[in-house]
Amino acid sequence: MLNLLEIPQSIKNKPLYNREKMTARIVHIGFGAFHRAHQALFTDRLLNKGNSDWAICEVNIVGGEELINHIRKQDHLYTVLEKGATSKQAYIIGSVKESLLAPTDGIETILEKMADPIVEIVSLTVTEKGYCMLPGGTGLDLNNELIKADLASPSKPMSAPGVIVEALYRRMQRGLKSFTALSCDNMPENGLVLRKAILDLANARDPELAKWIESNTTFPCTMVDRIVPAATSETLEEIQDVLGGMYDPCGIACEPFIQWVIEDNFVTSRPNWNEAGAEFVDNVVPYEEMKLRMLNGSHSFLAYLGYLAGYEHINDCMNDENYKKATLSLMMQQQAPTLNVPPHVNLQQYAEKLIERFSNPSLKHRTWQIAMDGTQKLPQRILDSIRWHIKHNSDFSLLALGVAGWMRYVGGIDDHKQVIDIRDPMVDELKKLVAESDEGVERVNSLLSLEAVFRSDLPANSLFREKITEHYLSLMKKGAKQTIKDLAL
């Protein structure tokens, strides 16, 4: 067994608590990179303060076999490397106590763990796709193959909503208290999205079950923020070097900045994550809109326009003064006015901090990675802001450029005539629309027909259509770099 507790003395940040006394009161679905560098790290920091025994049981329903197998060989310890612009710091995280893998341990074992009364929180990071919602988030997609399978065999669920509903069913049947279902995915009002998915599935299965869940289960909204690039071989080699030659295949690198805002709405007890730097509030919405629009909206803007121009990483974009200037303008002139933040929040300082974070040369956050799943990201990151500007008759030119950049990106060819590997849940439909339309105005009109992305209001607005077309034609003619330069002047 790899013992990360035997690493060099230079690594001072190790678990200071007795891991034998931890209790896995949290079941987390989706043991991925972000969770390892965020929620699990907060839980570890709280444990190190000595006022908690809350630990996590990690669950992967689909995939992740290699990661789970590795971390079991390490006594569920792993490394988080925080990388600033000029320094880095490693932490050994010990808050994970157990792990379960559906293909090998069986879904029944997972369900019984979640039905155990010791479990008080079931959290998840499964990305937007994992909620199996209809486009636009209007409800659960009952035609989704996983959901259809879950309704056909409820006791053997295959989706995240299906697993949660079956676990809640068992608790109801046994007269047990419910748990808190805590979404940690990066989407607006994530708790309400999870609640809708769970109640829709429960209703389709048994209306009485849905009533019990509605009366007994809470779904707090959360805002999560930390830049965590996907691990690469270079990342793991760097961590190995920091660990004095010890190789940690579960290690992850991230930026030093971390934020977690949580709606304080739990069925029973909860960890005092606020003692480790999180913030409990009554209303998360202002924080999540700030983050989704200013950080994530700018990230998407840079992902599409940066990738088209040949910039592989976000910090490469920031090395281009025109991209940096355009991004700050996007944040302060076109995203900030749409927000209604608490009085203590300074948006100018927030924007400047974001530019500093984006410029971090140590992270190597790939534009291609951020560009994934654009059909699910654009509405809340950019399109809702455009709707605000249309209503208030104000300028949204940079936001429109971001949309035009996405349209060029899904066309599949960058400014250097290289093929783009497009990853999106609607990729087949995107490719069909691209293939059946000529480049230019017809391509714009074709993509605007995607009601799941644009709904009906934006394509019907002549100013919106005019702005998108104008920027798209500029990207065609001049390329992303020159178009950005023209707007940044």
Each residue's pLDDT tens digit, 196-234: 999 999 999 999 999 999 999 999 999 999 999 989 999
pLDDT at 8: 61
Work out the number of other CB atoms within 10 angstroms of the CB of residue 148.
13
User: Is 187 within 8 Å of 380 (Cβ atoms)?
Assistant: yes
User: Mean pLDDT over residues 163-177, rounded?
Assistant: 98
pLDDT at 63: 87
- Distance, CA of 297 to CA of 327 (rounded, Å): 10
User: Is 28 within 8 Å of 124 (Cβ atoms)?
Assistant: yes
User: Is 362 within 8 Å of 293 (Cβ atoms)?
Assistant: no
Rounded to the nearest 10 degrees, what angle do helices 297-309 and 321-329 cross at? 150
Confidence of residue 454 (pLDDT cuts 50, 70, 90): very high
- Distance, CA of 126 to CA of 65 (rounded, Å): 15
Q: Which of helix, strand or coil describes residue 157?
A: coil
**Tens-digit pLDDT profile for residues 69-107:** 999 999 999 999 999 999 999 999 999 999 999 999 999
User: Is 147 within 8 Å of 159 (Cβ atoms)?
Assistant: yes
pLDDT at 187 > cutoff 90? no
- DSSP, res 260: E
Any idea what the Cα angle at residue 306 is, between residues 300 and 310, rounded to 5°? Answer: 145
- Distance, CA of 139 to CA of 134 (rounded, Å): 6
User: Is 298 within 8 Å of 354 (Cβ atoms)?
Assistant: yes
10 against 363, higher pLDDT: 363
Confidence of residue 9 (pLDDT cuts 50, 70, 90): low
Determine whether 101 is exposed, middle or buried from the number of CB atoms within 10 Å of its CB (0-12, 13-18, 19+): buried
pLDDT at 12 > cutoff 80? no
Q: CA dihedral defined by 370, 40, 83, 244, rounded to 10 degrees?
A: -130
Residue found by looking up tokens 């507790």 in the block: 5
**DSSP state string for 313-344:** BHHHHHTSHHHHHHHHHIIIIIIGGG----TT
User: Mean pLDDT over residues 409-421, rounded?
Assistant: 97
- Distance, CA of 397 to CA of 115 (rounded, Å): 51
Give me 267's structure tokens.
């069925």
| Sign of the alpha-carbon dihedral angle for 454, 460, 466, 470 | positive
344 against 413, higher pLDDT: 413
Residue found by looking up tokens 């609607």 in the block: 426
- The amino acid occupying position 289 is E
Q: Measure CA 474 to chain center.
A: 31
User: Mean pLDDT over residues 60-77, rounded?
Assistant: 94
pLDDT at 5: 66
User: Mean pLDDT over residues 353-362, rounded?
Assistant: 96
Confidence of residue 11 (pLDDT cuts 50, 70, 90): low
pLDDT at 245: 92
Residue 417 gets the label, from left (phi > 0), alpha (psi -120 to 50) or beta, of left
**Tens-digit pLDDT profile for residues 299-334:** 999 999 999 999 999 999 999 999 999 999 999 999
pLDDT at 1 > cutoff 60? no
Q: E strands of 166-278, at which residues?
A: 180-183, 222-225, 252-254, 259-263
Confidence of residue 10 (pLDDT cuts 50, 70, 90): low
Q: Measure CA 27 to chain center.
A: 18
Nearest Cα residue to 184 out of 128, 222, 136: 222
User: Is 318 within 8 Å of 358 (Cβ atoms)?
Assistant: yes
**Tens-digit pLDDT profile for residues 277-290:** 999 999 999 999 99
User: Mean pLDDT over residues 374-386, rounded?
Assistant: 95
Burial 168-193 (b: 16+ CB within 10 A, else e): bbbbbeeeeebbbbbbbbbbbbbbbb
| Sign of the alpha-carbon dihedral angle for 402, 487, 412, 419 | negative
